[in-house]
Structure 1
């Protein structure tokens, strides 16, 4: 198990060019999306929404919005991770429904509501929501690698152009990340990482 997981981590890299003729089977794409759906999130609020872009026309629009990165036009599917904003307002129907699933007693529910309202007032909700979405993105990319599917996280894009291309309302959502998935054309480059001892400190 541990060996399989590390093998997937070694396999995963930021794939720059995908085989445009090779498509991901629906059941494999569903597996990747499930890894995102089942990811942990702060307060259990599942701050993400996954928009799967499959048409070439829309992928080309995303490519333009991402400063013409070729990954978008050659991938099988691109998953745009939209970060929720409006739904995360304390007392919203969405938040109340999520908390009702987590709190089994009235006093616990009240505590969660009060704590969340206090927390919400002291953060940048958009940035917080985006960071939660990155957890789901990481899990989806690792899940993809585990079944031999490549990916490339894209955080460099024109937000306004992506929002326009997808018809997203800036009051309701922002864009956290765009992740193209597909199959590599070129051999995987050497992976460079800092040594374990340079990163890990025990206290």
Structure 2
């Protein structure tokens, strides 16, 4: 077994626990005898967590083939996995019957799941992208595109975290999800699109 295979086994376990917790959270919510009003915030937050989990796994597969199995090499990925798990735990209330609506829960507790997602983004940017020197090898115009894309994602999550208006929270989560889906799950190459616009 190579170092990378060992790492992916470890990282897959961390992300798999987060996926399992996310599904369990929504499963318990669906089975609850007393159903709160769902709204759109919590489903969008669950979608965002799932989308970012899948993207993080894809990122690890594509970008971490040279990872070293030591404290420095696995600390940041471990913190990312823990942050995802924290987000999955916080996305829904443990006892749905205590909350009249999931929007109420979000503003009281659930928005800390967004804080965990912001931590994921910042850790990924700081340690796996900039810290590894990966971004430094981009062409200057591609570096600008990288900044634009990540600013949009993190900015959207910050709107969702700080806003007290449900429609702004929902919009922030929807935009962040749409950007990540466009980057990882569609033929659309946002990075290339921004590079072309900047070169005009």
Same fold (TM over 0.5): no
The interval holding the TM-score normalised by the smaller chain is under 0.3
Higher relative strand content: 1
TM-score (norm 2): 0.26
More helix by share: 2
User: Greater relative contact order (Cα 8 A, min sep 6): structure 1 or 2?
Assistant: 1
Compute the TM-score of the two structures, normalised by the length of structure 1: 0.26
Q: Compare CA radii of gyration and give the structure with the larger one.
A: 1
